[in-house]
Every structure is written in C-alpha cells, then in structure tokens.
Structure 1
C-alpha cells in the first residue's frame, strides 16, 4: 500500500515541522495556562479537524494529478523541495507567523477557531500540495498512499498539540525564551534542509 521508507520519511518531516515553535504551539500553551486544559484540548480538536479537512481535500485531488501527468508530478517535486527549503530558512531566521491573533480567541469557541484557522491556513495547504506528493510512490496506487500520509500528518500534529496542552505549565518558560526557541528552530531547520535534498533526489521518476 505504501513504501515504508517514504512513509517514515514523511512522518519525520511532519514531526520536525510540528516541533518547530509556531503560532499553534504558542496559542495552545497560552490558552491552556490561562483557561485550563479543557480549553486547550478543545482547541486541539479544532486544529486537528481543520488540518484533516485540508489534508483530505489535498490528498484526493493530488492523487488524480500525480497519476495522470508526469509534468505535474515534476512541477510538484520542485515545488515541494523549494517549499521545504523555505520552511528551513524561515525557521533559521526565527521569524514565524505572529500568534497575536490566535491569542485573542479567549471569548470565542476555541474548537471552532482552531478549525477555521487551520482549514484556511495557506502554509499548511502548500505543504500538503507540494511536499506530500514527493512521498507517494509512482509504482503503487496514489490515492490510498495520499490518504494514509494525510492521516498520519494529522495524527502527528494532534499528538504534539495534545502533549503541549498537558505540559503547558512547564513549557511556559520555554515558549517565552526566545534564545531557546531560536536554537530549536535552527537545529530543526538544518534537518529540514537534509530532508529536502534527500526528497528531491529520491523522488525523481
């Protein structure tokens, strides 16, 4: 159904991206500390559903494109490698998206806000559209692979987010320490560069 090497490569890339400090991480930790774990877990559910919606749509559409066009596949291969390099560069310079808008969600339904923000997240959409296809083997049916990768990415994100909520109190100092954030971002950025290069070379048809 899927190449194990490609599956674990994708899972590792998704894990690195989720571990990089960003707006979801900051929002969940702040929300959990200020309003409790139930609020944080509600937001986690919303985020997971938003990502699942986006990933599912991407997987269904991409499967058809990859199966029908070598040119489209090659374009996605280049786009995927370049986007991962962009994520690495963004992480290195420690200038991620501002989480200010997310932190104002106190008086809204946290699950609904988590869903909408992530379902409409252009960066997540680009990840699913450009990066995920690189881990789909052309020798196997594309749609089952795409759906399995999409499901795995959502599972990884939700697990990380739930752990953040449960450990929110002890992570407060880490989230507020820009020096630590910068160090983590740069380590993960170097790893993402390595994955981008490996991915581009190994995904050639």
Structure 2
C-alpha cells in the first residue's frame, strides 16, 4: 500500500496544489474527504463492486471516464483560479467543498479499485474479500494514505505565504492544472489487467 500511495496520482497532485493555493485548513479538510472516499472504496469492494468492475469491463470504462472527467474539471478549476485573495469570505464553503471533492476523487479513482481487485487478494490466502477483510485492508490503506497526504498538505501549505502574490499563484495553479490533466490521461489509460 505504501508503494501505491507513493506513486503519483490524483490525491498527490490535487492536495499539494490545494494546500499551496488555498492553505493548510483547506488541505486538511480535503485529506479528511480523501480518507472517507478510500474507506468507502473498501466497503464498496466488500459488497462486490471491485469484482463487478473486474467482470464487467464496460463499468470499468465508465469509472475511468468519470474519474478522468473529474480530474479534467479540477484542472479547469485550477487553471481558471484567480488567486485574488477573496477566498476568506468563502472559507466555510471552501472547506466543505474540499472535503466533498476529496471524497469524490477517491470514489472515482480507478487506482483505488485496482488495489482491491489486484493487490488485496494476494494477502487473503484464498479467503473471500468480505466486509471484515475489506474493512481491515481499508483501515490500513487509509492510515498509510492519510499519513502521506498530511505530509503533502504540510509541505504544500508552506508555499501558501509565498503564493500570496497573485502572479505566482497563477503560475502554480497552471502547473497543477497540467499535472491534473496528466492524471486524467492516466485514468483513461488505466487497465484492470
């Protein structure tokens, strides 16, 4: 799981960019949403979604395209962001939005489902995934991912003050937009194997 989490993906790019441009509180709200989304993936896998995705390639394709569309939307949002400092009046709604987006990114993240289809069965000694195993693996996954995500948010938020200059913020948002476009492309190229 540690290797999977250290592989660049939607969470890393988005959390780093969000913390750098919106600040630590927004980044922490997003980390909580990501954790909820990852936990939901485990539960959904336990009730059969991972097996269904493996058995029905058309559903896998829909998930990949939905994930790519979500990352494309985030890339557009990052590109268009003004960095004008008017965020303070929308802080509560910004925190809720970061939380919800974090959860949604992970519900639409093919990489998260690949874990339950390809990787998790190797640790079960032939035992069915089931609710108990899925929850144990999900909690381990969430703990590892959240630790890494907290480091990313902390590192990203250190750049927040430097980014108080709107010109710098614009450049960084655009760099992260391009990274998110690359992640969207990786979703389209993902294969269940």
The TM-score range, normalised by the shorter chain, is 0.5 to 0.7
Q: How far off its partner does 1:20 sit?
A: 1.1
Match of 1:158 in 2: 150
Structure 1, residues 60-91: CA drift from partner, whole Å, max 9, x if none? 22453121242432221111111112111111
**TM-score, structure 1 as length reference:** 0.62
Contact 1:66 1:133 in 2 (8 A): no
Tell me how far apart the structure 1 counterparts of residues 52 and 164 of structure 2 sit (CA, whole Å): 48
Contact 1:66 1:72 in 2 (8 A): no
Structure 1, residues 89-141: CA drift from partner, whole Å, max 9, x if none? 1111116994534379xxxxxxxxx7xx47x9321221011025466154333
Residues 133 and 163 of structure 1, relative CA distance in 2, 3 Å threshold: closer
Q: How far off its partner does 1:17 sit?
A: 0.8
Residues 177 and 86 of structure 1, relative CA distance in 2, 3 Å threshold: same
Matches within 5 A, 1:55-74: 55-62=38-45, 64-69=48-53, 70=56, 71-74=58-61
Tell me how far apart the structure 2 counterparts of residues 47 and 195 of structure 1 sit (CA, whole Å): 18
Contact 1:136 1:145 in 2 (8 A): no
Counterpart of 2:23 in 1: which secondary structure?
Answer: helix
Match of 2:62 in 1: 75
Residues 7 and 47 of structure 1, relative CA distance in 2, 3 Å threshold: closer
Contact 1:59 1:150 in 2 (8 A): no
Match of 1:26 in 2: 23
Contact 2:72 2:181 in 1 (8 A): yes
Counterpart of 1:139 in 2: which secondary structure?
Answer: helix
Residues 158 and 93 of structure 1, relative CA distance in 2, 3 Å threshold: same
**TM-score, structure 2 as length reference:** 0.65
Tell me how far apart the structure 2 counterparts of residues 181 and 77 of structure 1 sit (CA, whole Å): 30
Match of 1:123 in 2: 101
Match of 1:109 in 2: none
Match of 2:179 among 174, 185, 191: 191
Contact 2:70 2:105 in 1 (8 A): yes
Match of 2:11 among 14, 18, 28: 14
Match of 2:91 in 1: 102
Contact 1:21 1:181 in 2 (8 A): no
Aligned-residue Cα RMSD (Å) equals: 4.0
Tell me how far apart the structure 1 counterparts of residues 185 and 110 of structure 2 sit (CA, whole Å): 15
